[in-house]
Structure 1
Amino acid sequence: METIRCDVAIIGAGSAGLTAYRSVHMAGKHPILIEGGPYGTTCARVGCMPSKLLIAAAEAAHSVKEAPGFGVHPGPTRIDGKEVMARVRSERDRFVGFVLSGMERMPEEHKLRGYARFLGPNRLQVDQHTIVEAKGIVIATGSTPQIPPAWAAAGDRVITSDAVFDWTDLPRSVAVVGTGVIGLELGQALHRLGVHVVILARGSSVAQLSDPAVKEIAAAALREEMDVRFHTQVSAVERVGDGVRVTSRDTSEREVSEVFDYLLVATGRKPNVDQLSLELTGIALDEHGIPQYDSKTMQCGDSHIFIAGDANNELPLLPEAADQGKIAGANAATWPEVKPGLRRTPLIIAFTEPNIATVGASYEELCRTHKGSFAVGMVSFEDQGRSRVMRQNKGMLRVYGEYGSGRFLGAESIGPRMEHIGHLLSWAHQTEMTVEKMLEMPFYHPVVEEGLRTALRDLAQQLEKAPPPKQSCPDCTPGC
């Protein structure tokens, strides 16, 4: 078995691993990037980009359906599933190609194929062929979508989102389990492309929302268009010919059995850390076996080991993975000198229609950290001018501000163009603007952003009042 030495070993060549590699390389140190799976990143292969390709096709179909509302009457709509998926796969492969081109430009001595596991704090074994000794190590092994073993027994008709983008045609029917971002995005896209879709949720969660008022509006908007069944549990899954029978049970104990072409499981992803032999590193692990780390430096304890991206189970988002990878790589290259890196304002967007966006501190978080010391402003998009012009007048935006300082703390929303408004709010949050300063910014007419101004004006009025007496926050409990 060959032994090689380097300054920093990076386990995983996804978004976090690649940015970590660049940080180490720019620091003038010798990195080795270890990857056992296919190159190409989760985002490019099975995540951000292919899902948006499917959503774009769904938006085109939905626009045709909605056109008569404007007095425009197109001819019969024909959705060619094979053409839809051919474009999804073709453009997906193009995005993956960009990543592969970058990998090809890396020096060969910086790349090592295989799966790594720890032999000790500074030693890794890669498959059965190489020992790597490194001064610093970055864990960037990503995550994997999970299927309950009992459901997996039904075979290849029980899938995760990873499998969707290899379809060569659209199926006739799909049951989606989970109302997180992935389940809602794919479920709505498939529904709009003519697939019979049923979405099942064990609780009442809607994407990343925690504000009860926004969550209620979001659930109603989604259920108005699709068959979304909250508080419904899957009790049995079995293979039936070329399909799968899904039996579900609601809170009244009423059971329903239906046959679908596929069961799409979108109930979360598991960090890929269980095969790393982390117990040999000496670093502290949490109850799930994930290394405990400093979110500003990405350092595990005071060790030379750093962790970034989906592997740490913090926020499984590409921008977060990239930022964390940059910090982890830079600190691994200079260890034992370690510095805090830039952690940006949290921004999460679900590309549903309407968009769902959260910025900064969530309502649930503020109920813990600012109980009785934050105010809420809101706007409904039902009568907002530009939203009605576009016939997209659904949703609600709730913005949060701090009594005394007037500082903008965060927002939760579902509404038209929230992917863009969310960015405006995240910039305001990161620069620690007050609500007063935000209202001094320009607002054109007529734009959806005028709805944001309405919410900020409402928040400003609430902040002028005396804060309420400190009391319990009964509606802050997740899922209530």
Structure 2
Amino acid sequence: MSKHFDAIIIGAGQAGPSLAGRLTAAGKTVALIERKLFGGTCVNTGCMPTKAMVASAYAIHTARRGAEYGMVTGAVSVDFARVMARKEKVRLDARSGVESWLKSMKNCTVFEGHARFESPTEVRVGDQLISGDEIFINTGGRAAVPDFPGVDEVPYLTNTSVMDLSELPEHLVIIGGSYIGLEFAQMFRRFGSEVTVIEKAQRLIGREDPDVSDAIRDILEKEGVHIRLSAECIRFARHKDGVAAGVDCTSGAPEVIGSHVLLATGRRPNTDDLGLDKAGVKTDARGNIEVDDFLRSSVPHIFAMGDCNGRGAFTHTAYNDFEIVAANLLDNDPRRVTDRIPTYALYIDPPLGRAGMTESDARKSGRKLMIGTRPMTRVGRAVEKGETQGFIKVLVDADTEEILGASILGTGGDEAIQSILDVMYAKRPYTTITRAVHIHPTVSELIPTVFGDLSPA
């Protein structure tokens, strides 16, 4: 006989625990199921541990530049074991915090094991069968392993296993020149590895505008990261020094020999082993659970939040999924997925903060545009810090004065972008920013200036 709950939450990633907190506070009984690590991708293999490593890489890089700031030091060496130990403490503290919170939550029963649907209302966890009036799937995603020739014949790393390295790679070959790959490329280069990035496309991070892509390539190459683009035939073979990665680029050596290979070629949702067919839940061709604007699946009482629904692949979108579900179910507040503005960051140094449309997308929309730009060399705060790489770019609809998008590649760009984003959410014209007084000396103080220098494009 199954035990019944008001709600079942499958997965303790970013959205699940917070929803459990709201539901139990509303007096509902909740079963939360986690099969492996509490906290999901962000806590265990994503944001928190990787940004801890980025912070170590930044400190090491700054120390090497000490003479520029008047600091006299000897040669800077890297204790990779201590870097990884620091990372490990960050993620273990966060993981245990989520687990302790859930297990101490009143009216919340935690099950540890693999959840599989038996029917639209029943879920089996090991030998236990439970049922729920509403079910929320928050199972996240995992690294996608492409079917490259030879990939099954060589050892390779993913964004998960690279977190458990015990030795610094002599030469890290990264397959994939997008967000995950580039963050690892710069940090491991700063730790002392030789690094080569192999990308099939003609430029890095093809989702971004060409000027952003080119500037990021320049930043990485100045630090000694090797970039191989237009890799038409990526393949692998064992080599006495590690792994041989075939490239077949239009120029350069036909293969790269690395001690380690990291596959950073995207992610896939964790939906293929949930028994969704028994629940009648539909998925798309990529395995994402199809949801409506309120995150309901094809079965009205079953919802999907976070990476498994294909509506955003970030911690902040997963948390917003929780907010949307809670607002509709508990607050009589009809929030929608389509209310949110795309925004994210790339955490190389300096970081890229992004909001809204790219210039390419804005031009495709057929709108009459005005564009403002400012190199970071003309931002006082960046000059004072000695971190002048990058630029600010803003896009405005010339007819409505609506802010369409912004890119800030530069020191503090991930923070400065927020002020633009808030005005976009407020649906105010760009003149709201041009008339604002920002604090000096900051990166943000130049944002009104950039908007004040708009030109037709």
TM norm. shorter chain > 0.5:
yes
Q: Secondary structure at the match of 1:420?
A: helix
Q: 1:329 to 1:32 in 2, by over 3 A?
A: farther
Question: What CA deviation, in whole Å up to 9, does each residue of 1:79-105 have, x standing for no partner?
Answer: 122222222222322222222221331
Query: Which residue is 2:304 aligned to?
Result: 307
Q: 1:302 to 1:82 in 2, by over 3 A?
A: closer
Displacement, 1:279?
Answer: 2.8
Displacement, 1:333?
Answer: 6.9
| 1:339 equivalent in alignment to 2:331 | no
2:262 to 264, 279, 283: 264
> In the aligned structure 2, how far is the partner of 1:271 from the partner of 1:290?
6
> In the aligned structure 1, how far is the partner of 2:10 from the partner of 2:104?
19
> In the aligned structure 1, how far is the partner of 2:86 from the partner of 2:167?
11
Verify the 8 A CA contact 1:174 1:263 in the aligned structure 2: yes
Question: What CA deviation, in whole Å up to 9, does each residue of 1:446-468 have, x standing for no partner?
Answer: 33234323321122x54xxxxx8
Question: What CA deviation, in whole Å up to 9, does each residue of 1:112-149 have, x standing for no partner?
Answer: 2222222332222333x122222111111100112235
Q: 1:412 to 1:436 in 2, by over 3 A?
A: same
Query: Which residue is 2:237 aligned to?
Result: 238
Verify the 8 A CA contact 1:82 1:169 in the aligned structure 2: yes
Displacement, 1:344?
Answer: 4.2
Paired residue type of 2:44: R
Q: 1:151 to 1:106 in 2, by over 3 A?
A: farther
Verify the 8 A CA contact 2:32 2:108 in the aligned structure 1: no
> In the aligned structure 2, how far is the partner of 1:73 from the partner of 1:410?
43
Query: Which residue is 2:377 aligned to?
Result: 382
Verify the 8 A CA contact 1:214 1:414 in the aligned structure 2: yes
Query: Which residue is 1:179 aligned to?
Result: 177
Q: 1:71 to 1:165 in 2, by over 3 A?
A: same
> In the aligned structure 1, how far is the partner of 2:285 from the partner of 2:101?
37
| 1:362 equivalent in alignment to 2:358 | yes
Displacement, 1:246?
Answer: 1.7
Query: Which residue is 2:388 aligned to?
Result: 393
1:44-443 maps to which residues of 2 (within 5 A)?
Answer: 44-106=43-105, 110-127=109-126, 129-149=127-147, 150-155=149-154, 157-207=155-205, 209-225=207-223, 226-233=225-232, 235-240=234-239, 243-252=242-251, 255-295=253-293, 297-301=294-298, 303-329=300-326, 331=328, 339-340=334-335, 344-368=340-364, 370-443=365-438
Q: 1:354 to 1:304 in 2, by over 3 A?
A: same
> In the aligned structure 2, how far is the partner of 1:115 from the partner of 1:373?
52
Verify the 8 A CA contact 1:374 1:401 in the aligned structure 2: yes
> In the aligned structure 1, how far is the partner of 2:281 from the partner of 2:163?
38
Q: 1:278 to 1:329 in 2, by over 3 A?
A: farther
Paired residue type of 1:148: P
Q: 1:69 to 1:88 in 2, by over 3 A?
A: same
Displacement, 1:33?
Answer: 0.9
Paired residue type of 1:367: R
Q: 1:403 to 1:81 in 2, by over 3 A?
A: same
Question: What CA deviation, in whole Å up to 9, does each residue of 1:204-238 have, x standing for no partner?
Answer: 45447522332222222322322122222453212
Query: Which residue is 2:3 aligned to?
Result: 4
Displacement over 4 Å in runs of 4+:
149-152, 329-334, 341-344
Moved more, 211-220 or 146-155: 146-155
> In the aligned structure 1, how far is the partner of 2:45 from the partner of 2:189?
19
Paired residue type of 1:202: K
Displacement, 1:303?
Answer: 1.2
Paired residue type of 2:344: I
> In the aligned structure 1, how far is the partner of 2:292 from the partner of 2:204?
29
Q: 1:310 to 1:441 in 2, by over 3 A?
A: same
Q: 1:373 to 1:25 in 2, by over 3 A?
A: farther
Give ranges in structure 1 of 5+ residues lacking alignment: 463-467, 469-480
Q: Secondary structure at the match of 2:153?
A: coil
Q: 1:365 to 1:131 in 2, by over 3 A?
A: farther
Paired residue type of 2:129: I
Identity %: 26
Displacement, 1:192?
Answer: 0.7
Paired residue type of 1:65: R
Query: Which residue is 1:474 aligned to?
Result: none
Q: TM-score, normalization: structure 1?
A: 0.87
> In the aligned structure 2, how far is the partner of 1:208 from the partner of 1:95?
33
Q: Secondary structure at the match of 1:95?
A: helix
Q: Secondary structure at the match of 1:20?
A: helix
> In the aligned structure 1, how far is the partner of 2:247 from the partner of 2:106?
53
Question: What CA deviation, in whole Å up to 9, does each residue of 1:26-53 have, x standing for no partner?
Answer: 3322211122222232211111111111
Paired residue type of 2:409: I
Q: 1:209 to 1:388 in 2, by over 3 A?
A: farther
Structure with more contact order per residue of length (Cα contacts < 8 Å, sep ≥ 6): 1
Displacement, 1:312?
Answer: 0.9
Question: What CA deviation, in whole Å up to 9, does each residue of 1:380-400 have, x standing for no partner?
Answer: 223433323322212122111
Verify the 8 A CA contact 1:181 1:208 in the aligned structure 2: no
> In the aligned structure 1, how far is the partner of 2:441 from the partner of 2:106?
53
Q: Secondary structure at the match of 1:382?
A: helix
Give ranges in structure 2 of 5+ residues lacking alignment: none
Verify the 8 A CA contact 2:176 2:265 in the aligned structure 1: yes
Verify the 8 A CA contact 2:236 2:243 in the aligned structure 1: yes
